[in-house]
Amino acid sequence: MALDFLTLYIVILLNSLTVSVIWAAVSYVYRSFITARIWLAGCLLSVIGGAVLSLQGNEGALVPAIVGNGFVIFGFCLFWVGVRHFYGAGGGWKSSVAITIVSMLCMVAAFESWNWRNVVYATAQSVPMLLAAIFLLRRPERKLGDWIAAAAMLIGVAGHAVETALNFALMGGYTDRSFYNVVESYALLCVIFSGVVWNFGFVVMAMDRLRDEVAALASKDALTGLPNRRLFLERLAAEVMRSGRTGRPFAVFIIDLDLFKEINDEHGHAAGDDALRHLAHILSSHLRPTDFPARYGGDEFCAVLPETTAAQAKSCASALVEAVRSQPWRWQGRSFPLSVSLGAAVWSKASPTQPESLMEQADQALYAVKKRGRNGCEVFSPALAQSDAA
């Protein structure tokens, strides 16, 4: 039994309208999520296209057929544009306009041939779906949402491929109109279904992105962009466990920006924030790629340095202190010298230490530097602990 094409066009309209409501809600709640607006525009264009197509009836009238499919084709192109935008690739706008214009011109030229008209419809709608699916499948790290969206789009392309093959078969006399109507209506229904599924895939992609952003907010310091205290303590605990298995040493740094209160008092808190960002940049630039700097709180920074002996820790600490000293902080067109006090502690197989004890040792070393007048570094040693006790 063939499905009524007028009914199918109305289903396209209602389906697109439903998905539009979803993307409108996402766009309203997450206003910085620009991709949602692009996908919303694609859905709305499909709604408009479905409304216009419903006016042509089962036989098809020229203006609503051309205009309606033009809206739908450009809407499909926006799904591809949105996928590119979601992953930072950009572009696709000019190609989408070109695809739509060329498709509409081909539809006008082929309108007198009912079969060729359907071939153009199917091909034009398949192109952006295929481009989006290829883009998603070529990504090096594909997540579940990528697979869902790409698979659904390929199903849609397959539905259009069946429709195209049927039109060629009908023109070649290999099938009759009644069989064509039955199969084509279900092929179109397959395309409609795929649209629901690929939008669900987009929603999963968006959920993954928003979840990653929330995780980043929970683990990164908003001011400096460095990992925060919670993530640092997790990394420190993991490094203690790793070194416990391998027996290899690692170092912990605690770094204080000297005279930070004076910066805030003399220049304001905005200046203090900028000085902290300056220090964070120096730490990120001068530590090794394998090291793990973090903002511990206030003007205090920390770092975990894997595979680091006491001698290496001393050398790296001295280099950091010198880097801060030699790179003045600039504020409102003026340069201001900065300095730091740095305390270090080293985990070793000979004297394995828990994270809390390592932090206490690094803090003792930091206190020793401050007692000497700041602007320097110290690595914790048993002799240092004895002098503090005395």
Question: Is-catalytic flag, 299?
Answer: yes
Long-range contacts formed by 48-55: CB under 8 A, 24+ apart: 49/12, 49/16, 49/73, 49/75, 50/9, 50/10, 50/12, 50/13, 50/14, 50/16, 51/13, 53/9, 53/12, 53/13, 54/6, 54/9, 54/10, 54/13
Identity at 43, one-letter amino acid code: C
In the chain, the N- to C-terminal Cα span, in Å, equals 97
Residues shown for the chain: 390
Alpha-carbon distance 110 to 120, whole Å?
8
Cβ contact 347:243 at 8 Å: yes
Active-site residue, from 256, 274, 291, 299: 299
List, by residue number, the catalytic residues.
299
